[in-house]
Protein backbone atom coordinates (compact mmCIF):
# COMPACT_ATOMS: atom_id res chain seq x y z
CA UNK A 1 0.00 0.00 0.00
CA UNK A 2 1.41 3.38 -1.01
CA UNK A 3 1.62 6.45 1.20
CA UNK A 4 -1.12 8.05 -0.91
CA UNK A 5 -3.41 5.06 -0.37
CA UNK A 6 -2.88 5.30 3.38
CA UNK A 7 -3.54 9.04 3.34
CA UNK A 8 -6.77 8.53 1.39
CA UNK A 9 -8.12 6.24 4.14
CA UNK A 10 -7.41 8.60 7.00
CA UNK A 11 -10.01 11.03 8.41
CA UNK A 12 -9.92 14.49 6.91
CA UNK A 13 -9.34 17.45 9.20
CA UNK A 14 -12.30 19.74 8.64
CA UNK A 15 -13.48 22.85 10.40
CA UNK A 16 -16.66 22.25 12.47
CA UNK A 17 -20.01 23.63 11.31
CA UNK A 18 -20.92 27.12 12.42
CA UNK A 19 -21.89 27.18 16.09
CA UNK A 20 -20.22 23.81 16.76
CA UNK A 21 -16.84 23.03 18.30
CA UNK A 22 -16.42 19.68 16.53
CA UNK A 23 -17.72 17.83 13.52
CA UNK A 24 -19.14 14.96 15.55
CA UNK A 25 -22.53 13.36 14.98
CA UNK A 26 -23.16 13.46 18.74
CA UNK A 27 -22.76 17.23 18.89
CA UNK A 28 -24.96 17.73 15.84
CA UNK A 29 -27.74 15.57 17.27
CA UNK A 30 -27.65 17.38 20.60
CA UNK A 31 -27.53 20.89 19.15
CA UNK A 32 -30.51 20.05 16.92
CA UNK A 33 -32.48 19.25 20.07
CA UNK A 34 -32.83 15.55 19.33
CA UNK A 35 -32.70 12.94 22.07
CA UNK A 36 -29.20 11.47 21.90
CA UNK A 37 -28.08 7.92 22.62
CA UNK A 38 -24.59 6.86 23.65
CA UNK A 39 -23.36 3.57 25.07
CA UNK A 40 -20.25 2.01 26.53
CA UNK A 41 -18.11 -0.50 24.72
CA UNK A 42 -16.41 -2.65 27.31
CA UNK A 43 -12.80 -3.09 26.16
CA UNK A 44 -11.60 -6.62 25.50
CA UNK A 45 -8.71 -8.31 27.29
CA UNK A 46 -7.29 -8.97 23.86
CA UNK A 47 -5.12 -7.54 21.10
CA UNK A 48 -7.53 -8.76 18.41
CA UNK A 49 -9.36 -5.88 16.65
CA UNK A 50 -12.16 -8.30 15.73
CA UNK A 51 -13.16 -8.38 19.40
CA UNK A 52 -13.66 -4.60 19.32
CA UNK A 53 -15.74 -4.65 16.14
CA UNK A 54 -17.89 -7.50 17.43
CA UNK A 55 -18.84 -5.41 20.47
CA UNK A 56 -19.26 -2.21 18.43
CA UNK A 57 -21.63 -3.50 15.75
CA UNK A 58 -24.79 -3.83 17.90
CA UNK A 59 -24.05 -0.46 19.52
CA UNK A 60 -23.67 1.28 16.16
CA UNK A 61 -27.23 0.32 15.24
CA UNK A 62 -28.66 2.78 17.77
CA UNK A 63 -25.89 5.02 19.13
CA UNK A 64 -24.79 8.49 18.15
CA UNK A 65 -21.40 7.78 19.71
CA UNK A 66 -19.68 4.84 21.42
CA UNK A 67 -17.68 5.31 24.63
CA UNK A 68 -14.36 3.53 24.80
CA UNK A 69 -13.76 3.18 28.54
CA UNK A 70 -10.33 3.93 29.97
CA UNK A 71 -9.38 1.18 32.45
CA UNK A 72 -12.61 1.68 34.39
CA UNK A 73 -12.54 0.35 37.92
CA UNK A 74 -8.73 0.58 37.70
CA UNK A 75 -8.63 -2.70 35.77
CA UNK A 76 -6.45 -3.07 32.69
CA UNK A 77 -8.06 -3.70 29.27
CA UNK A 78 -7.37 -2.53 25.72
CA UNK A 79 -6.78 1.22 25.84
CA UNK A 80 -9.43 3.80 25.05
CA UNK A 81 -7.25 5.51 22.45
CA UNK A 82 -6.56 2.17 20.78
CA UNK A 83 -10.26 1.36 20.51
CA UNK A 84 -11.01 4.86 19.21
CA UNK A 85 -8.30 4.42 16.57
CA UNK A 86 -9.89 1.20 15.35
CA UNK A 87 -13.46 2.49 15.38
CA UNK A 88 -12.85 5.90 13.80
CA UNK A 89 -10.94 4.30 10.94
CA UNK A 90 -13.97 2.06 10.36
CA UNK A 91 -16.28 5.10 10.42
CA UNK A 92 -17.85 4.79 13.87
CA UNK A 93 -18.48 7.78 16.13
CA UNK A 94 -16.51 7.47 19.37
CA UNK A 95 -16.08 9.12 22.75
CA UNK A 96 -12.50 8.99 23.94
CA UNK A 97 -12.36 8.60 27.72
CA UNK A 98 -9.37 9.98 29.62
CA UNK A 99 -8.75 8.99 33.23
CA UNK A 100 -6.36 11.25 35.14
CA UNK A 101 -5.25 8.30 37.25
CA UNK A 102 -2.70 6.87 34.83
CA UNK A 103 -0.98 9.65 32.81
CA UNK A 104 0.59 13.01 33.49
CA UNK A 105 -0.16 16.28 31.70
CA UNK A 106 2.55 15.79 29.07
CA UNK A 107 1.22 12.40 28.01
CA UNK A 108 -2.42 13.51 28.12
CA UNK A 109 -1.89 16.57 25.92
CA UNK A 110 -0.02 14.45 23.40
CA UNK A 111 -2.75 11.80 23.43
CA UNK A 112 -5.40 14.47 22.80
CA UNK A 113 -3.58 15.62 19.66
CA UNK A 114 -3.12 12.03 18.53
CA UNK A 115 -6.79 11.23 19.06
CA UNK A 116 -7.88 14.35 17.19
CA UNK A 117 -5.57 13.47 14.30
CA UNK A 118 -7.35 10.10 14.04
CA UNK A 119 -10.73 11.80 13.75
CA UNK A 120 -11.91 11.53 17.35
CA UNK A 121 -14.19 14.49 18.06
CA UNK A 122 -15.64 13.70 21.52
CA UNK A 123 -13.75 13.31 24.79
CA UNK A 124 -14.96 12.44 28.30
CA UNK A 125 -12.79 13.85 31.07
CA UNK A 126 -12.63 11.71 34.22
CA UNK A 127 -10.62 11.90 37.41
CA UNK A 128 -10.69 8.08 37.58
CA UNK A 129 -11.10 5.46 40.27
CA UNK A 130 -8.24 4.92 42.70
CA UNK A 131 -5.91 2.02 41.96
CA UNK A 132 -6.95 0.33 45.21
CA UNK A 133 -10.32 -0.72 43.74
CA UNK A 134 -8.72 -2.56 40.81
CA UNK A 135 -6.93 -5.85 40.38
CA UNK A 136 -3.44 -4.32 40.42
CA UNK A 137 -3.43 -2.27 43.66
CA UNK A 138 0.36 -2.04 43.56
CA UNK A 139 0.20 0.29 40.56
CA UNK A 140 1.45 3.82 41.12
CA UNK A 141 -1.29 6.44 40.61
CA UNK A 142 -0.53 9.72 38.83
CA UNK A 143 -3.47 12.15 39.25
CA UNK A 144 -1.47 15.06 37.81
CA UNK A 145 -4.90 16.42 36.81
CA UNK A 146 -8.42 16.00 38.09
CA UNK A 147 -11.44 16.20 35.79
CA UNK A 148 -11.76 19.97 36.20
CA UNK A 149 -8.15 20.76 35.31
CA UNK A 150 -8.31 18.26 32.44
CA UNK A 151 -11.39 20.01 31.02
CA UNK A 152 -9.68 23.40 31.29
CA UNK A 153 -6.55 22.05 29.60
CA UNK A 154 -8.30 20.58 26.56
CA UNK A 155 -10.46 23.69 26.24
CA UNK A 156 -7.29 25.80 26.25
CA UNK A 157 -5.72 23.59 23.59
CA UNK A 158 -8.85 23.83 21.45
CA UNK A 159 -9.89 27.45 21.91
CA UNK A 160 -6.55 29.18 22.46
CA UNK A 161 -4.41 26.86 20.35
CA UNK A 162 -1.67 26.45 22.95
CA UNK A 163 -0.29 23.81 25.30
CA UNK A 164 -0.22 24.49 29.04
CA UNK A 165 3.38 25.65 28.55
CA UNK A 166 2.11 28.43 26.26
CA UNK A 167 3.70 26.87 23.18
CA UNK A 168 1.58 27.26 20.07
CA UNK A 169 -0.34 24.33 18.54
CA UNK A 170 -0.28 24.68 14.76
CA UNK A 171 -3.60 22.83 14.29
CA UNK A 172 -5.71 22.76 17.47
CA UNK A 173 -7.88 19.72 18.30
CA UNK A 174 -11.59 20.20 17.60
CA UNK A 175 -13.25 18.29 20.41
CA UNK A 176 -16.66 18.25 22.05
CA UNK A 177 -15.90 18.17 25.79
CA UNK A 178 -17.69 15.93 28.24
CA UNK A 179 -17.55 14.99 31.90
CA UNK A 180 -19.31 12.59 34.28
CA UNK A 181 -21.65 13.26 37.18
CA UNK A 182 -23.22 11.13 39.89
CA UNK A 183 -26.62 12.58 40.89
CA UNK A 184 -27.90 9.74 43.08
CA UNK A 185 -25.34 9.46 45.88
CA UNK A 186 -24.83 11.78 48.87
CA UNK A 187 -24.28 14.60 49.40
CA UNK A 188 -27.24 15.23 47.08
CA UNK A 189 -27.33 18.99 47.59
CA UNK A 190 -23.70 19.30 46.46
CA UNK A 191 -24.06 17.45 43.16
CA UNK A 192 -25.60 20.29 41.08
CA UNK A 193 -22.98 22.73 42.38
CA UNK A 194 -20.27 20.25 41.42
CA UNK A 195 -21.81 20.00 37.98
CA UNK A 196 -21.70 23.80 37.69
CA UNK A 197 -17.94 23.73 38.27
CA UNK A 198 -17.49 21.25 35.44
CA UNK A 199 -19.59 23.36 33.11
CA UNK A 200 -17.56 26.43 34.02
CA UNK A 201 -14.39 24.42 33.31
CA UNK A 202 -15.58 23.61 29.79
CA UNK A 203 -17.94 20.60 29.88
CA UNK A 204 -20.45 20.72 27.03
CA UNK A 205 -22.07 17.35 27.66
CA UNK A 206 -22.48 15.22 30.78
CA UNK A 207 -22.89 11.46 31.11
CA UNK A 208 -24.20 10.44 34.51
CA UNK A 209 -23.65 7.28 36.48
CA UNK A 210 -26.46 4.70 36.62
CA UNK A 211 -29.88 6.14 37.46
CA UNK A 212 -32.12 3.64 39.26
CA UNK A 213 -33.85 6.11 41.57
CA UNK A 214 -35.88 8.44 39.37
CA UNK A 215 -37.27 10.68 42.16
CA UNK A 216 -33.73 11.46 43.37
CA UNK A 217 -32.69 12.23 39.79
CA UNK A 218 -35.74 14.45 39.30
CA UNK A 219 -34.75 16.51 42.34
CA UNK A 220 -31.21 16.80 40.95
CA UNK A 221 -32.53 17.99 37.60
CA UNK A 222 -34.86 20.52 39.27
CA UNK A 223 -31.86 22.11 40.96
CA UNK A 224 -29.87 21.91 37.70
CA UNK A 225 -32.64 23.89 35.99
CA UNK A 226 -32.79 26.40 38.86
CA UNK A 227 -29.06 27.05 38.41
CA UNK A 228 -29.51 27.57 34.66
CA UNK A 229 -27.26 24.64 33.86
CA UNK A 230 -29.76 22.82 31.65
CA UNK A 231 -29.32 25.66 29.13
CA UNK A 232 -25.53 25.41 29.22
CA UNK A 233 -24.80 21.68 29.06
CA UNK A 234 -26.36 18.57 27.51
CA UNK A 235 -27.15 15.94 30.15
CA UNK A 236 -27.25 12.26 29.17
CA UNK A 237 -28.66 10.08 31.96
CA UNK A 238 -26.90 6.79 32.62
CA UNK A 239 -28.98 3.62 32.52
CA UNK A 240 -28.31 -0.10 32.31
CA UNK A 241 -30.00 -3.51 32.56
CA UNK A 242 -29.59 -5.56 35.73
CA UNK A 243 -28.77 -9.20 35.07
CA UNK A 244 -29.98 -10.43 38.47
CA UNK A 245 -30.66 -9.34 42.04
CA UNK A 246 -27.32 -10.83 43.03
CA UNK A 247 -25.53 -8.72 40.43
CA UNK A 248 -27.40 -5.63 41.61
CA UNK A 249 -26.37 -6.21 45.23
CA UNK A 250 -22.77 -6.75 44.16
CA UNK A 251 -22.77 -3.49 42.18
CA UNK A 252 -24.27 -1.57 45.08
CA UNK A 253 -21.67 -2.92 47.50
CA UNK A 254 -18.55 -2.92 45.32
CA UNK A 255 -18.82 -0.29 42.59
CA UNK A 256 -18.16 3.26 43.81
CA UNK A 257 -21.05 5.68 43.34
CA UNK A 258 -23.80 3.14 42.61
CA UNK A 259 -27.20 3.58 44.28
CA UNK A 260 -29.85 0.92 43.65
CA UNK A 261 -32.99 1.10 45.82
CA UNK A 262 -34.15 -2.04 47.62
CA UNK A 263 -37.43 -1.89 45.69
CA UNK A 264 -35.58 -2.24 42.39
CA UNK A 265 -33.60 -5.24 43.62
CA UNK A 266 -36.72 -6.88 44.99
CA UNK A 267 -38.54 -6.42 41.67
CA UNK A 268 -35.77 -8.21 39.78
CA UNK A 269 -35.44 -10.89 42.45
CA UNK A 270 -39.16 -11.79 42.40
CA UNK A 271 -39.39 -11.97 38.61
CA UNK A 272 -39.61 -15.44 36.97
CA UNK A 273 -36.91 -14.32 34.53
CA UNK A 274 -34.67 -11.82 36.36
CA UNK A 275 -32.57 -10.85 33.33
CA UNK A 276 -35.68 -10.09 31.28
CA UNK A 277 -37.08 -8.06 34.14
CA UNK A 278 -33.82 -6.15 34.39
CA UNK A 279 -34.04 -5.33 30.70
CA UNK A 280 -37.70 -4.28 31.04
CA UNK A 281 -36.79 -2.06 34.00
CA UNK A 282 -34.10 -0.36 31.91
CA UNK A 283 -36.59 0.36 29.12
CA UNK A 284 -39.06 1.84 31.62
CA UNK A 285 -36.33 4.01 33.14
CA UNK A 286 -35.44 5.42 29.72
CA UNK A 287 -39.08 6.22 29.05
CA UNK A 288 -39.45 7.98 32.42
CA UNK A 289 -36.16 9.84 32.19
CA UNK A 290 -36.82 11.22 28.70
CA UNK A 291 -39.84 13.09 30.12
CA UNK A 292 -37.72 15.02 32.64
CA UNK A 293 -37.12 18.57 31.50
CA UNK A 294 -33.45 19.23 30.76
CA UNK A 295 -32.46 15.66 29.93
CA UNK A 296 -30.89 15.57 26.46
CA UNK A 297 -30.34 11.84 26.07
CA UNK A 298 -29.34 8.56 27.65
CA UNK A 299 -26.05 6.77 28.12
CA UNK A 300 -26.47 2.98 28.21
CA UNK A 301 -24.02 0.84 30.18
CA UNK A 302 -24.45 -2.92 29.77
CA UNK A 303 -21.29 -4.67 30.92
CA UNK A 304 -20.31 -7.37 28.39
CA UNK A 305 -23.89 -7.29 27.03
CA UNK A 306 -23.58 -4.85 24.17
CA UNK A 307 -26.01 -6.97 22.14
CA UNK A 308 -28.81 -5.95 24.52
CA UNK A 309 -28.33 -2.23 23.99
CA UNK A 310 -29.91 -2.19 20.54
CA UNK A 311 -32.96 -4.10 21.82
CA UNK A 312 -33.36 -1.78 24.80
CA UNK A 313 -33.14 1.40 22.75
CA UNK A 314 -35.45 0.20 20.00
CA UNK A 315 -38.06 -1.04 22.48
CA UNK A 316 -37.89 2.21 24.44
CA UNK A 317 -39.07 4.16 21.38
CA UNK A 318 -36.64 7.07 21.82
CA UNK A 319 -35.23 6.91 18.28
CA UNK A 320 -38.66 6.80 16.70
CA UNK A 321 -39.80 9.68 18.91
CA UNK A 322 -36.99 11.97 17.80
CA UNK A 323 -38.49 12.03 14.34
CA UNK A 324 -35.82 10.77 11.98
CA UNK A 325 -35.99 7.07 12.87
CA UNK A 326 -32.40 6.76 11.76
CA UNK A 327 -29.47 4.98 13.31
CA UNK A 328 -25.85 4.88 12.25
CA UNK A 329 -26.40 1.47 10.69
CA UNK A 330 -29.31 2.66 8.56
CA UNK A 331 -27.14 5.47 7.18
CA UNK A 332 -24.58 2.97 5.97
CA UNK A 333 -21.54 3.67 8.10
CA UNK A 334 -21.48 5.70 11.25
CA UNK A 335 -20.20 9.20 10.79
CA UNK A 336 -16.71 9.91 12.05
CA UNK A 337 -16.80 11.66 15.42
| Mean pLDDT value of segment 186-198 | 95
pLDDT in tens, 65-80: 999 988 576 576 899 9
Q: Higher-confidence residue: 335 or 143?
A: 143
pLDDT attached to residue 329: 38
pLDDT attached to residue 323: 67
The DSSP call for residue 168 is B
- Judged against a pLDDT cut of 80, whether residue 97 lies above it is answered with yes
Q: Which value, to the nearest 10 degrees, does the dihedral of the CA atoms of residues 83, 85, 87, 90 take?
A: -150
- Judged against a pLDDT cut of 80, whether residue 204 lies above it is answered with yes
Instruction: For the chain, list the strands marked E by DSSP.
Output: 36-41, 65-68, 94-99, 122-126, 176-181, 205-210, 234-239, 295-300
User: What average pLDDT does the structure give for the chain?
Assistant: 90
| Nearest C-alpha neighbor of 287 from the set 247, 325, 320 | 320
| Mean pLDDT value of segment 324-334 | 43
pLDDT in tens, 134-183: 687 888 888 999 999 999 999 999 999 999 999 999 999 999 999 999 99
Q: What CATH architecture applies to the domain 26-330?
A: Alpha-Beta Barrel (3.20)
pLDDT attached to residue 95: 97
Angle between helical axes of 191-201 and 214-226 (0-180°, round to 10): 50
Percent of the chain with pLDDT strictly greater than 90? 75
Instruction: Answer whether the bond into residue 187 is a cis peptide, omega within 30°.
Output: yes
| Mean pLDDT value of segment 263-278 | 96
Distance CA 83, CA 79 (A): 6
Confidence of residue 7 (pLDDT cuts 50, 70, 90): low
pLDDT attached to residue 326: 45
| Mean pLDDT value of segment 12-31 | 86
- Judged against a pLDDT cut of 90, whether residue 16 lies above it is answered with no
Domain ranges of the chain: 26-330
pLDDT attached to residue 330: 38
Amino acid sequence: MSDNDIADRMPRYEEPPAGHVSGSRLERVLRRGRFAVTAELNPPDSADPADVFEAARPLSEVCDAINATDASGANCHMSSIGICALLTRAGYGTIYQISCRDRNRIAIQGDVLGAAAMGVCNVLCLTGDGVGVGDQPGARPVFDFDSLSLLRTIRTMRDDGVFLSGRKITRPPRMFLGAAENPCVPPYEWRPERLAKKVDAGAEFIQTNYIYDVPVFERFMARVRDLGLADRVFILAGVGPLASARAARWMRSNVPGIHIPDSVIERVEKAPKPAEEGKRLCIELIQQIREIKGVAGVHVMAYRREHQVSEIIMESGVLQARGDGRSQASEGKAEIG
